[in-house]
Copies of this chain bind each other. A is one copy, B any other.
Amino acid sequence: MAGALLERKTGVALWRQIADLIRSDIATGATAREGRLPPEMELARRYGVNRHTVRSAIAALEQEGVLRSEQGRGTFVRRRARLSYPIAKRTRFSAGIGGQAGSTRTRLLKSGREDASDTVAENLDIRPGSEVVRLETVSEADGVPVSRATSWFDAARFPDIDTAFGQHASITKALAACGVADYVRKSTVIEARHASAEDIELLRLSAGAIVLVTRASNADADGRPIQYAESRFAADRVELKIEND
């Protein structure tokens, strides 16, 4: 690639920039997705830094579970490539990621009721301050957290969505149990941010990691909004794929 070197005195430590580069190179396939990393001395030359700085980067990625170092042998890639999360009219987590991972599941972290904020009310097409049910979930593929989401439902229409989710561990099935046989994605807004402390904890990220944030609303067959959700995806584990058909 074109001279993509490191930036100094920018508030981001060199070892972290290098760790991010290595992680990204593994994910995109620029570096061997499996097998061995170049020796520390060669990486130091390549990035124009001291060997100890490279070692700090490698240590961070070891902590993260991306690399594994063996004395005398070398440093090896551990984790597989990025998952691809499809966003289309019929967007469902397990169906979308299913083919790419051995197992998927969505856990309920917390549920409760609250008054709808302006944003939530607008997306659910109800009056601000109306009661809504909020679900906080984390989705995993092969035991690795991939995304976390906060979903809101109109409490007047789906008073039991939380217990239904508790039984089925799936938004799609919980909605089915509440009488919504089918639903479609109305719109999705995507941004990218640095991970918050909560993201880091729940998605098991390293500090400085990036999350893809989506804000989406789903509607039933009649076009009535039924769910509004804000999701946060670990950007080093997943990419979003939009099918325009």
* Chain B residues with CB under 8 A of A16: 10-12
- Asked, given contacts A10-B207, A197-B5, whether A241 binds B188 with beta carbons under 8 Å apart, the answer is yes
CA distance A16 to B184 in the complex (A): 40
Is the C-beta of A144 less than 8 angstroms from some C-beta in chain B? no
Residue of B nearest to A57 (CB): B11
Residues of chain A having any CB pair with chain B under 8 Å: 1-5, 7, 10-13, 15-17, 19-20, 24, 56, 60, 82, 84, 87-89, 184-194, 196-198, 200, 206-208, 210-212, 235, 239-244
How many copies make up the complex? 2
Q: Which of B3, B5, B186, B197 touches A244 (beta carbons < 8 Å)?
A: B186
Q: Please judge, given known A-B contacts A2-B198, A12-B16, A198-B2, whether A190 and B7 are in contact too, CB under 8 Å.
A: no
In the complex, are the beta carbons of A239 and B88 less than 8 A apart? no
Query: Within 8 Å CB of A2, what residues of B?
Result: 198
| A188/B10 contact (C-beta < 8 A), A2-B198, A4-B197, A210-B194 known | no
If the complex has contacts A189-B242, A190-B239, A212-B190, are A196 and B4 also in contact, measured as CB distance less than 8 A? Answer: yes
Given contacts A190-B241, A192-B192, A192-B235, list 7 more A-B pairs with CB under 8 A: A3-B197, A11-B19, A12-B207, A20-B194, A188-B241, A189-B240, A192-B211
Q: Measured between C-beta atoms, what is the minimum distance from A92 to chain B in Å?
A: 13
Chain B residues contacting A56 (CB-CB under 8 Å) are 11
B11 contacts A242, C-beta separation under 8 Å: no
A-B contact pairs, 29 of them (CB 8 A): A1-B196, A3-B198, A4-B196, A4-B197, A5-B197, A10-B16, A10-B206, A11-B19, A11-B56, A11-B60, A11-B208, A12-B13, A12-B194, A17-B194, A24-B193, A82-B191, A187-B243, A187-B244, A188-B241, A190-B190, A190-B212, A190-B239, A190-B240, A190-B242, A191-B212, A191-B239, A191-B240, A193-B235, A210-B210
